[in-house]
Amino acid sequence: MRITLAQLDSRLGDVDANVDRAEKVITDAAADGSDIVVFPELFLSGFGVGEVDEDVSMTLDDERLGRLADKTPGGVLLSFPEAQAHGLHTYNSAAYYEGGQLVHVHRKLYLPNYSIFEERKHFLPGQTSRAFPVRGGRHRAATLICNDAWQPQLAFLATQDGAMVMLVPAASAQSMFPERYDSRDYWRGITQFFGRMYQLYVVFVNRVGDEGKLRFWGGSHVVDPWGEVVAECVENEEHVLNVDIDINQVRRRRRDIPLVREARLGLIRREVDRLLDEGGDL
């Protein structure tokens, strides 16, 4: 399977320009034999949607999304503010299209609402987490949008739902607390942990460029089922990278060391129910 990591800058509020850019990348990726193209979080709108006067959200039947889907002989993961048809809710979403058809929508589940991040102010959190078929149903993948990946239970659920590839579109900026942690090191720790413990490929696609006080650092990369970084983009520059992965390696890894097979979901359900009964977070 060939995956294209589209590590790009985005023009805040200029959806049409970002769509045109995505179309060019998709066309080039298709010519290079790519099976899946992955764009960063909120690429089609820009990250700071609250700073834009006009509404930049898109419904799933937006003709611009359809145009990009039709340009993709394989699959593409597009990230944008998703408006519900009734106009009540807006989600930070990543929609996967394959063969011109919508296959799955992941709506960001954990919205940061601290420091200069105000996602909960503009978006409603999603309510479900599902793996989905890719490459005509031959394999399964899952999506976690940026801060979702900081919740390891979501990667666990995706793995138990059959995911062999984890797609992580992100808009990660350089650390606001450099004395406490480094964004690059944190993300490498997260993606390598997922690859190693959940025995799958992790495809992290981060944005680059400046937007207000935020400076997005890139560093997109792919981690294999052994937790090794097998391909990476340069940092702080636009970079479109094609990476070939072998899904058979996931099967081999899970057969040799059956970590994910021993999930004991019944045990976990009982303990989660107990914590809820004791007043845990709903």
The answer to whether position 25 is within a domain reads yes
75 belongs to a structural domain: yes
**Pair 223, 229: CB distance under 8 Å:** yes
Is the Cβ–Cβ distance between 239 and 4 less than 8 Å?
Answer: no
Residue 236 backbone zone (phi > 0: left; psi -120 to 50: alpha; other: beta): left
Question: Is 227 within 8 Å of 214 (Cβ atoms)?
Answer: no
Give domain status of residue 268, yes or no.
Answer: no
Q: What's 90's domain CATH number?
A: 3.60.110.10
* Single pTM value for the model: 0.96
Contact predicate 180/137, CB 8 Å:
no
Give the pLDDT confidence of 101-119 residue by residue, as tens digits: 999 999 999 998 777 778 8
Per-run averaged pLDDT (10 residues), the chain, 282 residues? 98 97 97 97 94 93 96 94 87 96 97 81 94 95 98 97 98 74 90 98 98 93 98 97 98 95 94 92 73
CB 247 within 8 A of CB 166: no
Residue 37 structural domain: 2-247
Query: For residue 69, what pLDDT is reported?
Result: 96
Q: Residue 270: inside a domain, yes or no?
A: no
In a domain, 276, yes or no: no
Mean pLDDT of the chain: 94
3-state class of 129 per DSSP? coil
Residue type, 268: I
* 150, HSE (Cβ side, Cα atoms, 13 Å): 12
Confidence at residue 117, expressed as pLDDT on a 0 to 100 scale: 75
Residue 271: inside a domain, yes or no? Answer: no
> For the chain, what is the domain count?
1
